[in-house]
Structure 1
Amino acid sequence: MEASMEAARGSGAKHIILVHGACHGGWSWYKVASRLRSAAAELLGYHVAAPDLAASGVDGRRLSEVPTFRDYTGPLLDVLRSLPAGEKAVLVGHSLGGLSVALAAELFPEKVAAAVFLAAFMPDCVSPPSDVLLKNGARENYTPSDNEMKPQDADGKLPSSFMFGPQATEQMLYQLCSPEDLTLGKSLMRISSLFLEDLQIQPPFSKDHYGSVRKVYVVCKQDETIPEEYQRWMVTNNPVDEVMEIDGADHMAMLSTPDQVVKCIIDIAKRYS
């Protein structure tokens, strides 16, 4: 990725950075990333990256080596930090990746052309970042699943680990995906964390930084993990510049409806560059 990033910088390129959710990695964007990279005529000059966050994908760290959400998001922050002055990126966050995008926008607002939330947790500028995670779990119609969350250490210094269960993966994440992508997901997912302990003690993101960045929410209408009703509540709670929607998309929209996701990203890149 580093060599291609250098080549992109040399051409004065702009950037699209795809940010995965919990237990996943950059691999989950393989359909979208490949389609975006081949859309040269429509995305002239854009470089597409799908980095692995810490202890995710092929990143070599263990979860115990990633004590905070900022540490977890570090690879994304490093990419933004390395962009030359004046260059901006469209950040596309999926699921927990929405909070990583929000943190990146908080720290580097001048480098974010648009923050895109694809069936993602989107925080506001009033409550701790953990609030949108906790409210989703506290919904009246929340369906218990076989996801597993447990302590990493006896003294509670590390955030609890998290892993999607087989039933939740099949029925709430990948229910509209192909059998091949379901198999891929089950094979490549890693134990991760929601970092609730850390996110609960963090201050709200600021209006001057995160709040100043242009935002687009892409609603996935058949999502069973972050249902449409809750996605739209987050938009009402923290209004955005634009709302798009994809019908027929489950939580893993980048796998179940990749062409529609690509179209949304291209439209956003054109309008918000």
Structure 2
Amino acid sequence: MPSSSAPAAATAASKRIILVHGTGHGGWCWYKVATLLRAAGHRVEAPDLAASGADARPLRDAPTFEDYSRPLLDALRALPPGERAVLVGHSFGGMSVALAAEELPEKVAAAVFVTAFMPDCAGPRTRTIEELPLLDWMDSVTDDGHAPPSVFLGPEFLRRLLYQLSPEEDYTLSQSLARVSSYYVADQKQHPPFSADRYGAVSKVYVVAKQDLAMIEEYQRQMIASIPVAEVREMEDADHMAMLSKPEELAGHLADIANTYV
């Protein structure tokens, strides 16, 4: 199984890489990996999705999943003709990457799922979310009466299940920047499954974080088995926040993937 511990050399041809954050987070969570990839000569974007990170909109101003994902879709649409990007989705960011691959497959060189939801083409778009075997959300707060239904990942949930191997200063950063978000389950259910000839045809790479306590390895493997992937990579000592617990290793994988698929 291929692996790498450092970004590709800066002499490699520059690749376009778009890093997509997960629920409650923002582009800020990619700061270590983005820095490493840029130092290696790649063109890197880490957009804040709607009502996330530094995006000032409240969640109610992003009522649909497409509204939420639009900053990613807009970034792809803005690419020069003929240029493609490697999309990297973390956690719930995998759903936004899947949507982008469905709507703009010609702009996607590869879809990379870093311990992320990776939907298949056979069932409802939300099946991977609804089947997640996570029973204890601890101090997280949900509000089904909110429009859209909201979730706020609690500080103990983050510390114990997502950031347990990440540096303490990164957990502290999350406490300053975490925001209310949504999984948009009801909205996504209104759409048909992702299509085999669009999303399904895009090259996919899954990066397994073996120490993830929220999206456990067994479930990551279950998603991998549900749809063809070009490649599977493993990070032995990464928690859910792989970009913070093992940034050099993850940046190495992403640089190698970009050099392979673009």
Asked whether the two chains share a fold, i.e. TM above 0.5, the reply is: yes
Superposed counterparts of 1:17-56, under 5 Å: 17-40=18-41, 46-56=42-52
SS of residue matched to 2:121: coil
Instruction: Give the counterpart letter for 1:148 in structure 2.
Output: V
Who is 2:213 aligned against?
Answer: 224
Who is 1:166 aligned against?
Answer: 155
Who is 2:173 aligned against?
Answer: 184
Question: Is 2:148 the partner of 1:148?
Answer: no
CA distance in 1, matches of 2:186, 2:252: 36
Superposed counterparts of 1:217-256, under 5 Å: 217-256=206-245
Alpha carbons of 1:268 and 1:234: their partners in 2 closer, same or farther (altered >3 Å)? Answer: same
Partners of 2:101 and 2:111 within 8 A in 1: yes
Q: Percent identity?
A: 55
Partners of 1:54 and 1:66 within 8 A in 2: yes
Question: Is 2:130 the partner of 1:134?
Answer: yes
TM-score (norm 2): 0.93
The alignment yields a C-alpha RMSD, in angstroms, of 1.3
* 1:61-107 C-alpha deviation (Å, 9 max, x unpaired): 11001110000000000000111211000000000000000000001
Who is 2:65 aligned against?
Answer: 69
Partners of 1:106 and 1:205 within 8 A in 2: yes
- Structure 1, gaps ≥5 residues long: 1-11, 41-45
Instruction: Give the counterpart letter for 1:88 in structure 2.
Output: R
TM-score (norm 1): 0.89
CA distance in 2, matches of 1:64, 1:159: 7
* 1:40-77 C-alpha deviation (Å, 9 max, x unpaired): 2xxxxx31000000000111111001110000000000
* 1:114-133 C-alpha deviation (Å, 9 max, x unpaired): 00000000000111211100
CA distance in 2, matches of 1:214, 1:239: 9
Instruction: Give the counterpart letter for 1:120 in structure 2.
Output: A
Partners of 1:119 and 1:219 within 8 A in 2: yes
- Structure 2, gaps ≥5 residues long: 1-12
Partners of 1:131 and 1:200 within 8 A in 2: no
SS of residue matched to 1:238: coil
SS of residue matched to 1:73: helix
